[in-house]
């Protein structure tokens, strides 16, 4: 019971953090621990300003956020993962504080920007942890490496409730323009929505509008290139060690997608969390960190 109350506190704290505009982040209030602030940095990628965090030390791990999100999505895991790894956490092009050029966004756009981001930072090799759209981007990056593309080498891959496979059921409105559609999206993303009162909903909707990423989301979702970028028939080209992490109650991308990813990538392991929706790093922070750390460190993540 105490653990559930603590998780509820962390979740509520995370939602509040996303409603404020910060130039430096300190996750200590959520963990009850002391940690350093993550300074917002900027680098030019293809002439566009990309904002990012560079925290921790050790092997380089890139945390790749999802659609309509930003680097703050990774707040709960920064402190524990940063103890063993150098975390590069970008606001991807078109999202967060990064520039938002009027492009016909595709998943390939993000693969190209990710590789150039790493090249500009002179990173020699990485591991990729991608959530939702970030998982699709990371998986396509791995597919192209398997095809022999000249990309910065990636050693390991973690797919977290990843998009990129064909879906039988329709998905909710991912570009909400009203309180009702915002509530519907939150109910699809989170397993526990006990915190989603009227005040929280208004703050989240306000934050969504202030992000000015509606064009990016719409451009990506209607781009016909997405049909050719799906990975159903190309998963066998991913040759690197892969961990697939999923929330069992994900209403946005069901657990069957995680099972298909794990079955299609040779040697991939699937870890799933009960009472968890689309965002394991938020709803199952401790379990997520333990699984990812064991996998990246060469241990065996428990599968269930």
Instruction: Please determine, for residue 49, whether its predicted confidence score (pLDDT) is greater than 80.
Output: yes
Question: What are 152-166's pLDDT values in tens digits?
Answer: 999 999 999 999 999
Classify residue 68 by burial, with Cβ atoms within 10 Å: 0-12, 13-18, 19+: buried
Residue 35 has a pLDDT of: 38
Angle between helices 198-211 and 179-189 (to 10 degrees): 100
Distance CA(126)–CA(157), nearest Å, equals 9
pTM of the model: 0.88
Residue 57 to residues 80, 83, 85, 117, 126, Cα–Cα distance (Å): 12, 7, 5, 18, 13
Tell me the domain boundaries of the chain: 2-296
Amino acid 298: pLDDT: 59
Express each pLDDT in 168-199 by its tens digit.
888 889 999 999 999 999 999 999 999 999 99
Q: What is the mean pLDDT of residues 10-28?
A: 37
Enclosing H/E stretch for 160: strand 154-160
Closest to 164 in 3D by CA, of 52, 70, 64:
64
| The token pair that represents 144 in the structure block | 């192209």
Q: Given this model, what pLDDT does residue 171 score?
A: 84
Kindly indicate whether the domain formed by 2-296 is annotated with CATH number 3.30.930.10. no
Report which of 275, 272, 281 is spatially closest to residue 246, judged by C-alpha positions: 272
Torsion of CA 147, 231, 130, 226, to 10 degrees: 110
Q: Phi then psi for 40, rounded to 5 degrees?
A: -75, 125
User: Measured between alpha carbons, how far is 234 from 261 in angstroms, rounded to an integer?
Assistant: 10
pLDDT tens, position by position, 230-277 = 999 999 999 999 999 999 999 999 999 999 999 999 999 999 999 999
Average pLDDT of the chain to the nearest whole number: 88
Q: Is the pLDDT of residue 37 over 60?
A: no
């Amino acid at each position: 019971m105490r653990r559930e109350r603590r998780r509820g506190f962390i979740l509520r704290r995370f939602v509040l953090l996303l409603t404020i505009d910060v130039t430096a982040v300190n996750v200590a209030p959520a963990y009850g621990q002391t940690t350093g602030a993550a300074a917002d940095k900027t680098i030019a990628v293809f002439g566009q300003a990309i904002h990012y965090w560079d925290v921790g030390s050790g092997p380089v791990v890139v945390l790749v956020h999802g659609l309509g999100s930003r680097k703050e999505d990774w707040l709960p895991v920064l402190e524990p993962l940063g103890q063993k790894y150098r975390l590069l956490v970008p606001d991807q092009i078109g999202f967060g504080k990064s520039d938002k050029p009027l492009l016909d966004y595709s998943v390939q756009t993000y693969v190209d920007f990710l590789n150039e981001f790493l090249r500009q930072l002179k990173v020699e090799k990485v591991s990729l942890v991608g959530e939702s759209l970030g998982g699709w981007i990371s998986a396509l990056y791995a597919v192209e490496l398997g095809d022999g593309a000249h990309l910065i080498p990636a050693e390991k891959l973690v797919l977290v409730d990843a998009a990129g496979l064909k879906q039988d059921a329709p998905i909710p409105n991912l570009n909400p323009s009203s309180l009702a559609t915002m509530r519907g999206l939150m109910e699809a993303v989170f397993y526990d929505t006990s915190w989603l009162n009227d005040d929280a909903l208004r703050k989240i909707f306000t934050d969504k509008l202030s992000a000015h990423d509606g064009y990016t989301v719409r451009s990506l979702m209607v781009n016909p290139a997405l049909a050719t970028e799906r990975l159903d028939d190309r998963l066998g080209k991913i040759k690197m060690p892969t961990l697939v992490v999923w929330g069992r109650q994900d209403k946005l991308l069901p657990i069957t997608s995680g099972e298909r990813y794990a079955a299609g990538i040779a040697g991939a392991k699937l870890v799933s969390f009960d009472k968890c929706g689309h965002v394991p790093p938020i709803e199952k922070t401790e379990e997520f960190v333990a699984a990812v750390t064991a996998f990246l460190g060469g241990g065996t993540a428990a599968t269930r």
